Amino acid sequence: MKREGLIIIISAPSGAGKTTLCRELLKRFPDIRESISYTTRPPRDGEVDGRDYCFVSREVFQQMIDEDAFAEWAMVHGNLYGTALATIDEARKNGVNLVLDIDCQGARRLKEQIERCVYVFILPPSMEELRRRLESRSTDAPDVIESRIRRAAEEIREARWYDYIIINDRFEQAIDELSAIVLAQGRQTFRMLEQVSKSFDI
């Protein structure tokens, strides 16, 4: 019997560096896979359906809601995002370690439904630095940036119920801290007990 897969939930306000940290985590841990969320948002340049997201219409998304196919779903900046229950169930069953990059609304819903997930919140060093990062991306209009800043203030208040908080000031330190969390969680007794029992007859 395979060890139960580790489910890691990572949230952060836009501009905190969550996506970059997740990408580096996947490089450091080849056994971790990225959960592919469903979304009604149109693809951005370079995004591929089934690799970055599963891009679906609002009608298809609503059908999945009606069928209780989502472990969590939420509306973010006017678009719908969701994680399929089947994605998590199959990962756990097959011993696959999975990282989910989802917002606070989705993470809270997931926490209410599924046990033994690990919740990590990524913070910027300050709101001033967050604004600087958003402006330096040159991808959003000023009103969109202001909307993201307001939403960030709301999201940061949610950090208190996460298992871990990482302040992404220096990237190398932040990714080292995230890696340490993954390593420690992967060695929890209930994950290791079957393997140890077979090896040492206990």
Q: Where are the domains of the chain?
A: 7-189
In percent, the amount of the chain with pLDDT more than 70 equals 99
- Give yes or no for residue 1 having a pLDDT over 70: no
**Which of 149, 17, 21 is CA-nearest to residue 8?**
21
Dist CA 99 CA 25 (whole Å): 9
Whole-model pTM: value is: 0.84
CATH code for the domain defined by 7-189: 3.40.50.300
- Look at residues 71, 128, 133 and name the one whose alpha carbon lies nearest to residue 105: 71
- Residue-averaged pLDDT of the chain: 90
- The residues, ordered by sequence, that sit 6+ positions from 8 with a Cβ below 8 Å of its Cβ are 32, 97, 98, 99, 100, 117, 118, 120, 181, 182, 185
pLDDT given for residue 69 in this prediction: 95
Q: How far apart are CA 198 and CA 9, in angstroms?
A: 30
Cα–Cα distance measured from residue 191 to residue 46, given in angstroms and rounded to the nearest whole number: 38
- Between 43-52, 53-62, 127-136, 188-197, the lowest mean confidence (pLDDT) is in 188-197
Among 80-84, 111-115, 191-195, top mean pLDDT goes to: 80-84
165 three-class SS: strand
21 burial type by CB count under 10 A (0-12 exposed, 13-18 middle, 19+ buried): buried
Residue 25 predicted with pLDDT over 90: yes
